[in-house]
């Protein structure tokens, strides 16, 4: 099967960015950035149905009788005010806008069940929505789908101080959960730039990656159980808190990364690791990408069990962070920069190991300059240089964004390739990301949107990635934007099986339609 040509990106992309930081990388709330009627000078986001070649499927439309039924199910939780519906209809990047006229705000899984049972009987399409911080348009309606928000499903149900197992509703904000477990000497196994807005249910539904992936792995491993409401209203209670359960199919894995297309996650059981007693951050300059790779190999060998993050960025990223955000580099100018974080239980032991590592890489020429931080203020300053790259790019002009998973040894080759391919037609081509996970964030900036520049990028980027046996979406998901490039990363047989699973669990296709699966598989 040949993948369909990716959707064209509109000219006003990236006026704001997920996790765009305030002071020292603290995320800015999404609702302050979004809306159909914006501040003067910011254009209204065109309707998705008018911008993209997508046709509405034959779903019913919401009637007065439906609204009355919803009001009985969630008294006071039915929103129809057009002004209140502006923000939930627009994605974070202000590239997509639906025209939903109804937003529902249930508090319990029982209410979600009653809503979906009604929608299933009436053939009404439903768009699940958490914090609406996604990058691929998976959390906003394409047409007039009912928006089902989990915002009021925000209770912690239990926490076990010995095992570190947290059970909570899907609408809990990640940053609030982080504070909750840190007060009990644990941490969440994931950390994202959008943690101040994103919901744990959305994190699980998109299989979010983030900054702690290297140490604690993916949500496929740390999520122990889920409660999910299926399309017909059936409540699937797999909310186990067991580390081991080898009884039949592991059904929760179907819903992790399914982006709300197979069921709506209403509660999560997740394993939280103990809070590290000592955190150190080193920021280093490297003379080339080969040295970045060798530094990573050395780092794994010498730091081992205390290594918690290994991030990289190129020189252009540092220049943009300095130019647009006025953040100064703590080391001398270098072609590449590396941020290393260690987390452990013994400050003296960890500092000694990190010190020996730094002495070795500096002495061998892998690193030309470096600095280390142990106090919280300087740690945040060093992390800001990495976490605020997205914000700096958003101020550099129009941005084409790609989230790729590639073999580590080839991770930066696509950046070099594109610089030669695009030449002066691109303002900047930059690469940064989670080197420890093989995840490249490839960004191309230009003064304004250019169809010819887009044609030079797509499908070339996807074809190049497929040639390396990579993935066109490392951690951002598929959503609406990437559904028709899925064929670059998945064979026809896998796509067919996905379609069959969708038909089995949601035969009417009412859950998050137009998302995740190709329009033609």
**Same structural domain for residues 392 and 359?**
yes
* Mean pLDDT on 392-419: 94
Angle between helices 109-122 and 64-73 (to 10 degrees): 160
Angle at 21 between CA 295 and CA 309, to 5 degrees: 25
User: What per-residue confidence (pLDDT) applies to 42?
Assistant: 62
Residue 518 has pLDDT above 80, yes or no: yes
Domain boundary residue among 269, 299, 332? 269
Residue 40 has pLDDT above 50, yes or no: no
**Same structural domain for residues 313 and 402?**
yes
**Same structural domain for residues 301 and 261?**
no
pLDDT in tens, 45-78: 899 999 889 999 999 999 999 999 999 999 999 9
Residue 493 has pLDDT above 70, yes or no: yes
Three-class DSSP category at 12: coil
* Mean pLDDT on 185-193: 93
Q: What is the dihedral of CA 403, 512, 165, 161, to 10 degrees?
A: 100
Where residue 95 falls among pLDDT bands split at 50, 70, 90?
Answer: confident
pLDDT in tens, 196-208: 999 999 999 999 9
Question: Rounded to two decimals, what is the model's pTM?
Answer: 0.89
pLDDT in tens, 252-297: 999 999 999 999 999 999 999 999 999 999 999 999 999 999 999 9
Asked if the structure places residue 508 within a domain, the reply is no
User: What per-residue confidence (pLDDT) applies to 25?
Assistant: 31
Percent of the chain with pLDDT over 70: 92
Asked if the structure places residue 116 within a domain, the reply is yes
Q: 61: which residues sit within 8 A by CB, 6+ positions away?
A: 124, 144
Asked if the structure places residue 237 within a domain, the reply is yes
Output the domain CATH number for residue 341.
3.30.70.2190
pLDDT in tens, 425-439: 999 999 999 998 999
Looking at every residue in the chain, the average pLDDT score rounds to: 91
Q: Indicate the number of domains in the chain.
A: 3
User: What per-residue confidence (pLDDT) applies to 41?
Assistant: 52
Contact assessment for residue 501 and residue 262, using Cβ atoms and an 8 Å cutoff: yes
pLDDT in tens, 238-254: 999 999 999 999 999 99
Asked if the structure places residue 473 within a domain, the reply is no
User: What per-residue confidence (pLDDT) applies to 155?
Assistant: 98
**Same structural domain for residues 412 and 295?**
yes
**Same structural domain for residues 307 and 438?**
yes
User: What per-residue confidence (pLDDT) applies to 265?
Assistant: 98
Q: Largest alpha-carbon pair distance within the chain?
A: 75
Residue 10 has pLDDT above 60, yes or no: no
**Same structural domain for residues 237 and 321?**
no
**Same structural domain for residues 141 and 169?**
no
**Same structural domain for residues 136 and 186?**
no
Give the up-direction half-sphere exposure of residue 154: CA atoms within 13 A in the CB hemisphere.
17
User: Hey, which residues does 280 pair with through a beta bridge?
Assistant: 342
Across 37-41, 156-160, 163-167, least confident range: 37-41
Q: Is the backbone peptide bond immediately before 459 cis, with ω within 30 degrees of 0?
A: yes
Across 33-37, 111-115, 469-473, 514-518, least confident range: 33-37
**Same structural domain for residues 94 and 181?**
no
**Same structural domain for residues 395 and 303?**
yes
**Same structural domain for residues 373 and 299?**
yes
User: Hey, which residues does 344 pair with through a beta bridge?
Assistant: 278
User: What per-residue confidence (pLDDT) applies to 477?
Assistant: 93
Asked if the structure places residue 105 within a domain, the reply is yes
Contact assessment for residue 397 and residue 445, using Cβ atoms and an 8 Å cutoff: yes
How many other C-beta atoms lie within 10 A of the C-beta of residue 265?
32
How many other C-beta atoms lie within 10 A of the C-beta of residue 66?
18
Output the domain CATH number for residue 121.
3.30.43.10
Give the up-direction half-sphere exposure of residue 366: CA atoms within 13 A in the CB hemisphere.
17
Three-class DSSP category at 221: helix
Where residue 394 falls among pLDDT bands split at 50, 70, 90?
Answer: confident
Phi, psi of 149 (to 5 degrees): -90, 140
Q: Which of 147, 150, 169 is nearest to 158 (CA)?
A: 169
Contact assessment for residue 400 and residue 11, using Cβ atoms and an 8 Å cutoff: no
Q: Which of 367, 358, 359 is nearest to 335 (CA)?
A: 367
User: What per-residue confidence (pLDDT) applies to 118?
Assistant: 98
pLDDT in tens, 206-219: 999 988 899 999 99
Domain boundary residue among 214, 244, 269? 269
Phi, psi of 276 (to 5 degrees): -65, 140
Size (the chain), residues? 521
CA 42 distance to own-chain centroid: 25
Domain boundary residue among 422, 449, 466? 466
**Same structural domain for residues 322 and 462?**
yes
Output the domain CATH number for residue 221.
3.30.465.10
* Mean pLDDT on 11-26: 31
Q: 430: which residues sit within 8 A by CB, 6+ positions away?
A: 313, 314, 316, 317, 320, 389, 393, 415, 442, 443, 444, 445
User: What per-residue confidence (pLDDT) applies to 120?
Assistant: 98
Which DSSP string do the residues of 323-351 spell out, in sequence order?
HHH-PPPSS---SEEEEEEEEES-HHHHH
Asked if the structure places residue 392 within a domain, the reply is yes
**Residue 358 to residue 367: CA distance in whole angstroms:** 8
User: What per-residue confidence (pLDDT) applies to 363?
Assistant: 96
142: containing domain: 55-147
Asked if the structure places residue 31 within a domain, the reply is no
3-state secondary structure 425-493: HCCEEEEEEEHHHCEEEEEEEECCCCHHHHHHHCCHHHHHHHHCCCECECCCCCCCCCHHHHHHCCCHH
Where residue 92 falls among pLDDT bands split at 50, 70, 90?
Answer: confident
Q: Which range has highest mean pLDDT (92-96, 451-455, 506-510)? A: 506-510
Q: Which of 98, 84, 100, 90 is nearest to 15 (CA)?
A: 90
pLDDT in tens, 117-148: 999 999 999 999 999 999 899 999 999 999 99
**Residue 7 to residue 23: CA distance in whole angstroms:** 35
Q: Which of 402, 516, 404 is nearest to 467 (CA)?
A: 404
Asked if the structure places residue 292 within a domain, the reply is yes
Percent of the chain with pLDDT over 90: 84
């Amino acid at each position: 099967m040949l993948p369909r040509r990716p959707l064209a990106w509109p000219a006003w992309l990236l006026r704001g960015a997920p996790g765009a930081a305030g002071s020292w990388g603290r995320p800015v709330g999404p609702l302050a950035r979004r809306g159909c009627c914006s501040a003067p000078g910011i254009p209204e986001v065109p309707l998705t149905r008018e911008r993209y070649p997508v046709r509405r499927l034959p779903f019913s439309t919401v009637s007065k009788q439906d609204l009355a039924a919803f009001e009985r199910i969630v008294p006071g939780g039915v929103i129809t005010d057009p002004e209140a519906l502006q923000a939930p209809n627009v994605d974070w990047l202000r590239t997509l806008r639906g025209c939903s006229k109804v937003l529902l705000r249930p508090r319990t899984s029982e209410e979600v069940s009653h809503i979906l049972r009604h929608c299933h009987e009436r053939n009404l399409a439903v768009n699940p929505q958490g914090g609406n911080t996604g990058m691929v348009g998976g959390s906003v309606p394409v047409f007039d789908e009912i928006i089902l928000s989990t915002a009021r499903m925000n209770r912690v149900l239990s926490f076990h101080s010995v095992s570190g197992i947290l059970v909570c509703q899907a609408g809990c904000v990640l940053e609030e959960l982080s504070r909750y477990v840190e007060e009990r000497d644990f941490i969440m196994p994931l950390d994202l730039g959008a943690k101040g807005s994103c919901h744990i249910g959305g994190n699980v539904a998109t299989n979010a990656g983030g900054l702690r992936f290297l140490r604690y792995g993916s949500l496929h491993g740390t999520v122990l159980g889920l409660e999910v409401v299926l399309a017909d209203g059936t409540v699937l209670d797999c909310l186990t808190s067991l580390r081991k359960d080898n009884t039949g199919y592991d059904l929760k894995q179907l819903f992790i990364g399914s982006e709300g297309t197979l069921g709506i996650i209403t509660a999560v059981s997740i394993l939280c690791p103990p809070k590290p007693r000592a955190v150190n951050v080193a920021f280093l300059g490297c003379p080339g990408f080969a040295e970045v790779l060798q530094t990573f190999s050395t780092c794994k060998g010498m730091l081992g069990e205390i290594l918690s993050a290994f991030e990289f960025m190129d020189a252009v990223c540092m220049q943009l962070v300095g130019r647009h955000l006025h953040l100064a580099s703590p080391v001398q100018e270098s072609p590449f920069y590396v941020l290393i974080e260690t987390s452990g239980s013994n400050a003296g032991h960890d500092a000694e190991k990190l010190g020996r590592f730094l002495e070795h890489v500096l002495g061998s020429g892998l690193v030309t300059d470096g600095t280390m931080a142990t106090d919280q203020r300087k740690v945040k300053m060093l992390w800001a240089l990495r976490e605020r790259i997205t914000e700096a790019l958003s101020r550099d002009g129009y941005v084409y964004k790609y989230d790729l998973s590639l073999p580590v040894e080839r991770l930066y080759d696509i950046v070099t390739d594109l610089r030669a391919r695009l030449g002066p037609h691109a303002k900047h081509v930059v690469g940064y990301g989670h080197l420890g996970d093989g995840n490249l964030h490839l960004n191309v900036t230009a003064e304004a949107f250019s169809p010819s520049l887009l044609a030079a990028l797509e499908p070339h980027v996807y074809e190049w990635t497929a040639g390396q046996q990579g993935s066109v979406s490392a951690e951002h998901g598929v959503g609406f934007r990437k559904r028709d490039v899925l064929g670059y990363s998945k064979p026809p047989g896998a796509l067919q099986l996905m379609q069959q699973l969708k038909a089995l669990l949601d035969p009417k296709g009412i859950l998050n339609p137009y998302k995740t699966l190709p329009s033609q598989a």
